[in-house]
Amino acid sequence: MTTPPPPPPPQLYTVAQTRAILCCSRRTVDRLAAKGLLKVVRLGRAVRVSRESVEQLIARGGQP
């Protein structure tokens, strides 16, 4: 019997997930989004952050 493959990572993270990945505060996530370093998607009142923008920020070492 084989184990099914793990599900793919989400395309959008919640702010809480983004905070956990980046080890920072909500305010820092808000600032990064305001500066355009994180791409934010609003779904009604819900705020989501694109996985791609988080990965790019990490690859750049947090620099613009």
Q: pLDDT per residue over 5-60, tens digit each?
A: 888 888 999 999 999 999 999 999 999 999 999 999 999 999 999 999 999 999 99
55: domain range?
12-59
Residue 38 lies in a domain: yes
pLDDT, residue 40, reads 96
**For the residues of 13-43, what is the DSSP string, one character each?**
EEHHHHHHHHT--HHHHHHHHHTTSS-EEEE
Q: Which residue has better confidence, 62 or 3? A: 3
Total domains in the fold of the chain: 1
Q: CA–CA separation, 29 vs 23, rounded Å? A: 10
Residue 24 lies in a domain: yes
Q: CA–CA separation, 1 vs 37, rounded Å? A: 44
Residue 7 lies in a domain: no
pLDDT, residue 5, reads 86
Residue 45 lies in a domain: yes
Residue 1 lies in a domain: no
